[in-house]
């Protein structure tokens, strides 16, 4: 039913995004792909928060899934290419830790919103997902392109 489609659309989008990221990274560079991914994630969060029907919600989740797939493929690549050789493992591990921490914070935030009892709380839960992607977008503007990609 629709419940399964809502959940699986994000996963399907992530698979497509991860596969597409290889070619996109070669064409646009790691930073460009991450900027595109964060913009895509922000747009998907807005679509989900504004959804008036289940089909629009599924589309928004698929867009977010594309961004998750792109970021899951590109972030470790970008970090490892920017990091000094001795720090690569630690930086990549820290990335994974902060992803998990972000999920915990998001879950806690959703619990607080749900406890509030607002019938539109689900819109806040989905729309607030744009906050970390906007922060990442702005942070990426201050970072260089990957030296490995620039040498190509």
Give one DSSP letter per residue of 39-67, joined into a string: HHHHHHHHHHHH-SSHHHHHHHHHHHHHH
So what's the pLDDT on residue 2? 87
DSSP string, 67-115: HHHHHHHHHHHHHHHHS-GGGHHHHHHHHHHHHHHHHHHHHHHHHHHHH
Give the tens place of pLDDT for each residue, 97-122. Answer: 999 999 999 999 999 999 988 888 99
How many Å apart are CA 139 and CA 36, to the nearest integer?
13
How confident is the model at residue 116, as a pLDDT? 87
pTM recorded for the entire structure: 0.91
**Per-residue pLDDT at 123:** 92
Q: Cα–Cα distance between 124 and 118 in angstroms, integer?
A: 10
Torsion sign (Cα): 99, 58, 130, 115: negative
> In the structure encoding, which two tokens stand for residue 18, read together?
């991860």
For 14: left if phi > 0, alpha if psi spans -120 to 50, otherwise beta; the answer is alpha
Q: What token pair was written down for 13?
A: 């989008």
Of the pLDDT bands very low, low, confident and very high (cuts 50, 70, 90), residue 129 is very high
- Give per-residue pLDDT as tens, 53-80: 999 999 999 999 999 999 999 999 999 9
Task: State residue 88's pLDDT score.
Answer: 92
Nearest to 91, CA basis, from 76, 107, 103, 109? 76
């Amino acid at each position: 039913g629709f419940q399964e489609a809502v959940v699986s659309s994000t996963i399907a989008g992530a698979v497509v995004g991860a596969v597409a990221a290889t070619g996109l990274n070669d064409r646009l560079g790691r930073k460009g792909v991450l900027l595109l991914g964060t913009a895509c994630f922000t747009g998907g969060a807005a679509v989900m928060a504004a959804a008036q029907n289940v089909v629009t919600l599924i589309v928004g989740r698929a867009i977010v899934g594309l961004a998750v797939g792109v970021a899951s493929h590109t972030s470790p690549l970008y970090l490892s290419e920017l990091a000094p050789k001795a720090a690569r493992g630690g930086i990549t591990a820290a990335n994974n830790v902060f992803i998990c921490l972000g999920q915990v914070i998001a879950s806690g935030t959703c619990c607080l919103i749900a406890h509030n009892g607002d019938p539109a709380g689900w819109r806040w839960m989905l729309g607030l997902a744009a906050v970390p992607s906007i922060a990442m977008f702005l942070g990426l503007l201050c970072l260089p392109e990957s030296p490995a990609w620039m040498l190509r």
